[in-house]
Amino acid sequence: MGNNFPQGKCGCGGLIFWRPPPNNNNNNSNANKFENLSNASDTKKGQGGCEDITFSGTASSNKPTNSSTRSGTKPNHVVNQNYQRNHPKVSPTEGYVSNGRRVPKEAIGISGELESMITDRQKGSSNLVRASSSNVMMFNNLGNLRQGGNTNTYSQNPVANGRYTNQTVENVSKGNKEQPGSLCRVVSTRMNPEQLKIMGNEDYKNGRFQEALALYDAAIAIDPNKASYRSNKSAALTALGRLLEAVFECREAIQIEPRYQRAHYRLGNLNMRLGEMDKALYHYKQAGPEIDPDENAKVKKIQVHLNKCTEARRLGDWNKLIKETNNAISSGADSAPQIFALQAEAFLKLRRHQHAEEAMSKGSNFDVDHCTKFFGPICHANTLVTQSRVHLAAGRFEDALVAIQRASRLDPNNNEMKKVMRKARAAAAARSNGNELFMASKFSEASVAYGEGLEHDPYNSVLLCNRAACRSKLGQFEKAVEDCNASLSLRPSYSKARLRRADCNAKLKRWEASIQDYEILLKETPEDEELTRALLEAKEHLIQQRGE
């Protein structure tokens, strides 16, 4: 993480609060009394540390006291008695207990304090509340958790994998009008944002990117004008595959600090991966010494492949287009939706629909609004047009219509979009009409309906397969096999078409062809008993046929 991820880790002592167990006979809210029982030196503050402050108290049902009153300093043995009541094996000098081992306090930093607090809460402790902060925080500031007379419910478990998650705690008591809030927020907002960043850096280095992201978010909430927090958040988002969001965070960092070289370097890398080579070169130039000398050469190499892609598409050389898109992707533009869309378009032109679907699925599934914001409406509309065509070829008519409608809103003057819109609507209507007729056992009319859809989209594997089903019902086995052959040439993994072809070949007594299809299907679903039975029958018929 470079300069934004300091190697040093600043330790911070814990704040311990004790709350007496609720008295069933007296619910007086003034029954809590907190007493400062230790004095901590202020000299640690200059060294980046925090004081260890312990609070204890007693509750009396006969003499309620004001919770805001604090008594003077008590002897240390009082602290030991109160603390050991809940932790009998721990002395004041030994620190916390971790898996049966005593850990010195000085070895525990802020992250350890949070871990201890979470462990206490997981064990169901009702007396001890720990907060990693240099501020004295009353028990009520934690959202009145487990306060006498109140009932709190968690919308979700706030503790996951030994760490706080950013979940909401809702106080459902009618008498408490306090706003619901996040435990993580309540704790983090009382911390130094630099400490949150350090904790986030530690999580990032250990591969806990979601936790790191939450900590960077907390630091930004406290100090939104610190460029390093935004840049580090961008790194965590990148590790989680949320590249467009990472771009926007880097832009925020540069807006705050225009000459922030690390943010420029990250933004250069992101633009390269997203296929924006001119932007990548610009930010690499701004990165100064952060830039690797080979990065500029890599970007220029990808730009050469993209130029060749443009030329191949213009000439209709689809095989070359597939080759050059593969070269661009392998050279570093591995998350560019427009490059995968170009490759999918080439496969569609070559009537290799299954490969087109695979190519489109490899592209990052970014949010539509994020794509529009980053790539611009016209560029993203072109990607959506190709996506719609892929959905249509795969028989996902509703998805095709959704994608093309989004494209029409972004670029209403796109002529290619209008053609795809007409085709998608006609194919969807034909499939719907044909299905209704087929369910009504009107196989001849259903076959005609599917045929009308094929007039608009003659290489639609689903319409071909559906028409094959109608022809099979009408006893037109030869024509049904032809439709199945056409469907499987477009999508070799289309199991419905293969099953129908196997059944039709069996009825035509073409046992070898039928057996071949059944064996392929059984490799995909070996537990299918009907397929197994059909295969055995076909083999028996083949033996009999050869015996004759």
Residue pLDDT, tens place only, 146-172: 334 343 333 333 333 434 333 333 333
Instruction: Please give the average per-residue pLDDT across 460-468, as a whole number.
Output: 95
Kindly indicate the confidence band of residue 367, based on its pLDDT and cuts at 50, 70 and 90. confident
The domain locations on the chain are 181-290
CB distance 538 to 507 below 8 Å: no
Question: Does residue 435 surpass a pLDDT of 70?
Answer: yes
Q: How far lies 42's CA from each of 50, 78, 258, in Å?
A: 8, 23, 38
Nearest to 249 by CA among 196, 205, 213: 213
Top mean pLDDT of 22-26, 90-94, 305-309, 360-364 is at 305-309
Q: Is the pLDDT of residue 468 over 90?
A: yes
pLDDT tens digits for range 33-80: 333 323 333 333 333 333 222 233 333 333 344 433 334 444 444 444
Higher per-residue pLDDT: 7 or 475: 475
Checking if the pLDDT of 238 tops 50, the result is yes
Residue predicted with more confidence, 89 or 407: 407
Q: Which residue has the higher pLDDT, 392 or 80?
A: 392
d(CA 544, CA 105): 85
> Residue 175 pLDDT more than 60?
no
pLDDT greater than 60 at residue 30: no
**Which range is most confident: 16-30, 101-115, 246-260?**
246-260
pLDDT reading at 352 higher than 90: yes
Task: Give the pLDDT score at 234.
Answer: 96
Q: What average pLDDT does the segment 182-190 reach?
A: 47
More confident residue, 341 or 60: 341
Local structure of 350: helix, strand or coil = coil
**485-539, pLDDT tens digit by residue?**
999 999 999 999 999 999 999 999 999 999 999 999 999 899 999 999 999 999 9
**Residue 290, pLDDT score:** 66
Count of residues for the chain?
548
CATH 1.10.530.10 is the classification of domain 181-290: no
pLDDT of the residue at 115: 54
pLDDT score, position 415: 87
Contact 420, 388 (CB under 8 A): yes
In 138-232, DSSP assigns E strands to: 152-154, 159-160, 163-164, 168-171, 181-182
The C-alpha angle with vertex 92 and arms to 88 and 97, in degrees rounded to 5, equals: 55
Is it the case that residue 190 has pLDDT exceeding 60? no
For the ranges 2-6, 225-229, 261-265, the lowest mean pLDDT is seen at 2-6
DSSP one-letter string for 71-103: -----HHHHHHHHHHH-TT--TTT-EEETTEEE
The encoded tokens of residue 387 equal 């996506």
Would you state the pLDDT for residue 207?
Answer: 95
Q: Residue 187: its pLDDT value, please?
A: 52
* Alpha-carbon separation of residue 271 from 138, 254, 298 (angstroms): 48, 15, 12
Q: Would you say residue 305 has pLDDT above 90? A: yes
pLDDT score for 139 = 38
